[in-house]
Structures are given as structure tokens and as C-alpha cells.
Structure 1
């Protein structure tokens, strides 16, 4: 009886220890407290207005983001830094949530792009609010988040951060180029990106070999499944393949592919919940009926020019 109790106690201890270690590892990428990220170029009145918009309370840990921080983390420069952010740890639940409190003033980076970049950088299980008192691209806000995480002892990889920033800019560029195309939406693109990340993370968990061929197959298949193959150019697809190759090689996905996949899946569900109408529009555009309709138009154009050609040839 004593031996059974001893063995049972040992098993519980080992399980508990393992659970604690796993929790500690996961917490390396979670915020520990509420954090306010202040754009360094805000004057006093602008600062107070920004804090009010974000709902920042008293005695909140604050970090300023200045030009040297932006250069250090992203390698780029901005004329001024006004975009600010408020980070709150998720007590219960998973994934990264982003709320843009001033959408009229964040002119370039979308909510889904912020979340995808945060996942690539290794940020986990946080609610992030972003605001600016005047029009800015919005890229500077994530810089402050990287700085805050580092200041609080979190282990974000510098190369992952740079890749996240490049990913954010590449996806923004793709969305800007295709914004006017019928059926295209930034949400559809970012859902596809999250799906690719999830598949790569799953392959990592299964210890499958990940090389350029594997990544390119995942990208091409996912683009087709999300009906983006008729919209994106070959160059844009190559950009996405490059993004995903960097994801596959990243420190954060190799450290904990299971947690990474959960973050990516949480984003997919979030986009499906909030943008189902846009996703459905893209699906309808790429149905067999739509493709047949477009094919009939093309056939009519070809036949028209054929008739002109034959008519002209009859005079020769």
C-alpha cells in the first residue's frame, strides 16, 4: 500500500512539474501586466487624449517608443511617432486580439495584419488596443509592443521581430495593390496566411521535413482553397512563399509549434466570425458558375475578333 501511494505521489509530482514547466515556457510570450505603449512625439494634451481613447487607467506601466526604438527593432524610420498601444494579458482564453480604436487614423495596417505580425514575432494570449490622434500608417505601434515585451523579460527573437515587421509591410502592400479588385479582401488574405502558419506548425509537430518545396505546396494549395489564385500575381505569391519560409525557420515556431498553431487557429476563427460576408463574396466570385460566365465573355471577345479577321481576309 505504501509503495502504491509512493508511486502515485511520484507520478503526480512529475505531472505537476511538467505542467508547471510547460506553463512557464508558454508564459515567456505572454504579457505579465497591463502595459501602455506611448508614442514619444505626443505632447501632453495629445497624450491625455490617447490614454482616454485606449482606456488607460492610473499607475499603468508605461514605455515610450522613440525613433531609436523603431530603427532598432524594424530598421526603418518615421517622421514622428504618435501611434500608441495598450496591452492587456488574457486571463482566460488563447490567441491575440487587436482592437483599432481609431480606424480612421490608422491608414495602412489592418487589424488582421497586426495579429498575424504579432503571431510571427511570438506574442501570445494578449488583447492589444491601438490608437492614434492623427493619421499615421500604424506600423510604429508594434515596435512599442516589442520593446515592452523585452523590458519585461520576455524572450522574443530579434530575427522573428524583423520578419514580423517585413511580413506586415508585405501583406499591407498586397492588400493595397488588390484593394479595388472584385471579391478581394484583406481578411481573406490574412485568413489564408493564418492557415498556412497552422499547417507549417502542424508539420513541425509531426516532425515532417520542411523545405522550400513543402512550404510552396502549402502556400499554393491554401491560396487556391481560399479562392485567391485568380487575384494574386505570381510575384505576390512568391512574396507569401518567402514569408512562410521565414515562419518555418523562426525561433518561435520551432520552440513551441503547438502553441504557435493554437495562435494561428484562433486568428482563423476570429476572421471567420467577424468577416464571414467578405469571405463568402470571394467564394461566390470564384464558383464554377462565375468562371463559366467569365469564360463565355472571353469566348465572345475572341469570336468577335475572329470574325473581323475573316472579314478582312475576304478582301485579300
Structure 2
């Protein structure tokens, strides 16, 4: 037992010694050295509007600069538009793997009238953007539907490839959630936070189960997460089918499988924790309790302890190998 305790102590010290090295290596290999600011095409010839938006985004002079045009909306989002109305802009800095996704919508000058922050995050995760700092802003009121195209254009500016199939799946998800939010606005027992949490948990569970599920299996998971988040008898059958449809499309585009799987699950967990800490969700949870419902934490921690112990055991084995 004393030997085990000593080995655990050595292991702990070893972890603390190598952690900074691992982190620095990850930053060098995976993070961007500079941020990218992507303006809507309407700002390309409007210096006054661009300067105002630059201030809203806190753009640095060292940022790479790009513009979102109507053909980018078609390419990434399968949407039709024209350059003159594209005014929402984004600033994005890719971070090291595991740092997570943070998103800020600066509405001090212009309002994003349709798309919520949580809905953007859910869609960004679906598109595979999991480790980044993203700021969205506009100098005038806009619906905000074109902002995702700017995120994808930023990755393109840095020489990284974004899968258009996944981005269109993300846009489909974004539009679908927005419509469901509108249909349930003001309905007793409903909040956007509850829905976004349920959807994120459903996607994480699908990834966890191997991302090769049929429609019935996906629907069962969605229904369970809807129930866990106090939305039974609030979200109707048609809305459930819409959710199942866009999650199935995301699964088929490869969002939850392969090398994306663990990254997606971890990012979804971080995102769910952010929702749970928000004032909107806390209010929704209190409201659900008043209605005799209980919102559950559906992102199970199964396997976390086993993985940790396996990791510890692997290091102990390595240390024992050195002694041998």
C-alpha cells in the first residue's frame, strides 16, 4: 500500500510537470497565431460602417481581414442573398484543442434580432467549431443569419477546410431551432435554454453511442432528453420530428464520429455547463419545479473515473518499467 501511495504521489507530480509542456505544444500546433475578422460584404466599401463594427468586435490591427459575400452564404449555408444587406460581422480566434468555445454577441449598437447566443453555439458545435473565441456584432439591427458564414470564411482565410455538408446541416439546425423558439414563445414551461440543453445532450449521447444510429434510436434519445429537461407536453410531435431530422443530417455528415467524436462530446459538456449556469436556465429550472417537473443533468459521467484510473495505471506501469 505504501508503494502504491508513493507511486500515486510520483504520478501526480509527473502530471503537474508535463501539463504545461503539453499545453504549450497544443497551442503551437493547433491555435492560430492571430485572429481573423470577417466583415459583411456591405462594409467593404463603407469605411464608416466598417470602423464602427471594428470597434464593436475589438479587432486588432494584426487581425487577418476577410469579407463575407452572397456566394459564401450559398456555399456554406445554402442561402440566397445579396452583398448590400450583409452587415453582421465576426471576429474569431481559434484556440488549442480542449480550450472550448466561447461566443459573445455585442449588441450595443445593432441588435441581432433573430438568432440567440445559445442557438449559435449549438450550430457551431454541429459545424465542428469546438475550440474558438467568437464575437459577433453589427452596427445596425440585423437578423444575424449570415454570421455563421463569416465563421467559416475565417477558417478558410487561415487555410483550413470546413465541410459544406456540415455547415449546411448547422444552418438547417439554426433555422429549425429558431422556428421552434418562435412557435413556443410565451408558452408556460418553455425556455430556449431548456431546448438548447436538451439538443446538446441528445447530440452528445448520439456521439457517445457511436454515431451510427437509425431514426428510431435517435428519436428515442431526443424524446428522453426533452423529458429530462421538463419539456414533455411542450414540444409537440412535429417539432420533435424536426429536431430528429436535423440531428440525423448532422450524424450523416460525420459531425459526431471519427476524430470529431471525443472533441464534440467534451465541447457539448462545456456548453451544457454554461447553459446550466445562465440566469435564464436557473429561472427555467425554478419554473419547472413550480410546475412539478425536475430538469435533470442528462450528460452522464459514465466512464470518467475508469478512464482516469486507466490513465493513472498507464503512467504507473511506465514508471515501474523504468525501475525494471
TM-score normalised by L of structure 1: 0.77
Query: Which residue number corresponds to residue 84 of structure 1?
Result: 89
Question: Which stretch shifts more, 214-223 or 244-253?
Answer: 244-253
1:140 to 134, 146, 150: 146
Distance, in Å, in 1 between the alignment partners of 2:283 and 2:252 is: 32
Please give the residue correspondences for 1:161-310 in structure 2 after superposition, counting only pairs within 5 Å. Answer: 161-204=167-210, 209-256=212-259, 257-274=261-278, 275-287=280-292
Question: Kindly tell me: are residues 92 and 215 of structure 1, through their superposed partners in 2, closer, same or farther at Cα, counting changes over 3 Å?
Answer: closer
Distance in 1 between the 2:217 and 2:287 partners? 26
Which structure 1 segments of 5+ residues have no match?
A: 1-18, 290-316
Deviation (angstroms), 1:87: 0.7
Contact 2:42–2:86 under 8 Å retained in 1: yes
CA separation in 2, counterparts of 1:33 and 1:252? 26
Distance 1:156 1:170 in 2: 21
Q: Give the superposition deviation at 1:134.
A: 1.1
Residue aligning to 1:128: 134
Q: Deviations over 1:173-206 (max 9, x none)?
A: 11111111123111111111110111011112xx
In 2, distance between residues paired with 1:186 and 1:48? 33
How far is the alpha carbon of 1:23 from its aligned partner?
A: 6.1
Q: Do the aligned partners of 2:101 and 2:130 also contact (CA within 8 Å) in 1?
A: yes
Q: Does residue 1:52 correspond to 2:55, yes or no? A: yes
1:100 aligned to which of 97, 105, 110: 105
Distance 2:252 2:185 in 1: 30
Measured at CA, do residues 288 and 23 of structure 1 come closer, stay the same or move farther in structure 2, by a change above 3 Å? closer
Give the whole-Å Cα distance in 1 for the aligned partners of 2:79 and 2:244: 23
State the superposition RMSD in angstroms: 2.4
Give distance in 1, aligned partners of 2:33 and 2:243. Answer: 33
Q: CA deviation at 1:158?
A: 1.4
Structure 2 residue matching 1:231: 3-state secondary structure: coil
What are the ranges of 5 or more consecutive residues in structure 2 without an aligned counterpart?
1-21, 295-324
Q: Which has the larger radius of gyration?
A: 1
* Residues 155-166 of structure 1 mapped to structure 2, 5 A cutoff: 155-166=161-172
Cα distance in 2, alignment partners of residues 216 and 101 from structure 1:
36
Question: 3-state SS of the aligned residue for 2:255?
Answer: helix
**Structure 2 length normalisation: TM-score?**
0.75
Q: Is 1:118 aligned to 2:119, yes or no? A: no
